[in-house]
Amino acid sequence: MKTRRGAPLWVTGATRFAGMPSAQARIGLVLFAVFLIACLSAIASPGPRPSVDGEVASTSVAADGPPPGQTDLLLYETIVAGIRGGSPYYAVAAETQRMGHYPLKPFFAVRLPTLAVIQAALPAILVNLLLLVLCIGTILAWVARLRPETTGILPLGAAGLLVVAGLYVNLDQSFVVFHEVWAGPLIALSLALRRPGHWLPAVAFGLSAMLIRETALLYVAIMAVFAWVEGERRETLGWLAAIGVFAVVLAAHAHAVSLISGPLDRVSQGWTGLEGFGFYVRLATISSGLDILPQWLASLVLGTALFGWLAWRDAVATRALVVFAAYAALISLFARSDNFYWALMTTPVLLVGLVFAVDGLRDMIAAARDTRRITVTRVIR
């Protein structure tokens, strides 16, 4: 027996839990509670804060330690300054990473040149303005995407503020040289713009994210799989074409790095952190506006946001949830305790799920409390 759906609170459409059988709803509430407990494991998980005295803690430096004052932020700023001074990207990147005791092997220890070259070619004020425009565009795109889904100004305004909270680090212009600060909003913008039969802008922004940060490949691959499963053949080819372009660029990058690295250059210590799910939750909270909350409360809010994405009955919600899960698995298994910036790939819109958690949790609780019974009376004539 299914329960009836209550009146809409924040969202116009029915959530995935509307009309759920009471037995399933009770199981769902138990699983939700277990999931929140899992999120609380972030309290005991390691993870640096995004900044210390205005700088980011060094993340990829060899085991013998960096020179005094060396940080990733300084590394990227020095590379951009070197290119502005007339040096080729790979030459200045190799020299700077050697001086900072950074590895040059394997090749992806050296970032793709896209962001540094663009930043070196533009005035700093224009670079900051471009990042601000990207963030504002992401906010507006998601507000437009959510407008038909919400019941009024209050939930729509809350959704916009939640995107702002997700862009907490991205809006800090001191992090403008970080690749994930750009790739994360590009992924969020791509996700917001994708529609059935209207996928070209989404593919273009997905490709842009990959050309800035290689780990955006995970997002593009997920979108390609969804398009293929849903029978969107032209869209599937579009995503595959983007992956093809990226593969060519990555191969050229690998070749270029091989030309400037030698047998004495440092090798990365690898990415086998195995820090667990709590580590992902911790990184996601300190990489968003949740950083202002105590870790236990931030963990519960983040878990509820993910529940909200599950409650939203929409194709974009399914895609987003799979993307979040994929990056959570990537971080839980491979990120080291100093790789906080990996979470920036998903934080821009992660908190939007709170908008849908309101109706979703109401529907699940209502279904679990439903004690109606059907009585069959036999009439004898």
Domain boundaries, given as residue ranges, for the chain: 22-369
Q: Of 275, 288, 291, nearest to 331 (Cα)?
A: 275
So what's the pLDDT on residue 340? 76
Residues 350, 317 contacting (CB under 8 angstroms) = no
CA gap 185, 190 in Å, rounded = 8
DSSP 100: T
CB 100 within 8 A of CB 70: yes
SS3 89: helix
Instruction: Report the C-alpha gap between 251 and 368 in whole angstroms.
Output: 54
Alpha carbons 135 and 155: distance in angstroms, whole number:
20
pTM: 0.90
Running DSSP on this structure, what letter comes out for residue 112?
Answer: P
Helix (H, G, I), strand (E, B) or coil at 190: helix
Report the 10 Å Cβ neighbour count for 207.
23
Distance, in Å, from the CA atom of 337 to the CA atom of 269, rounded to the nearest integer, reads: 13
Contact 287, 345 (CB under 8 A): no
> What is the rounded CA–CA span in Å between residue 276 and residue 44?
11
Closest C-alpha to 284, from 272, 301, 271, 270: 301
pLDDT at 265: 84
Burial tier of 80 (Cβ tally within 10 Å: 0-12, 13-18, 19+): buried
Q: One digit per residue, pLDDT tens: the chain, 381 residues? A: 455 556 788 999 889 998 899 999 999 999 999 999 999 999 988 765 443 333 333 344 444 556 665 788 899 999 999 999 999 999 999 999 999 888 998 998 899 999 999 999 999 999 999 999 999 999 999 999 999 999 999 999 999 999 999 999 999 988 999 999 999 999 999 999 999 889 999 999 999 999 999 999 999 999 999 999 999 999 999 999 999 999 999 999 999 999 998 888 888 776 666 788 999 999 999 999 999 999 999 999 999 999 999 999 999 999 999 999 999 999 999 887 767 788 999 999 999 999 999 999 999 999 998 766 444 445 555
Q: What residue type is assigned to position 57 of the chain?
A: A
Residue 69 is predicted with a pLDDT of 59
| Positive or negative torsion for Cα 55, 179, 185, 44 | negative
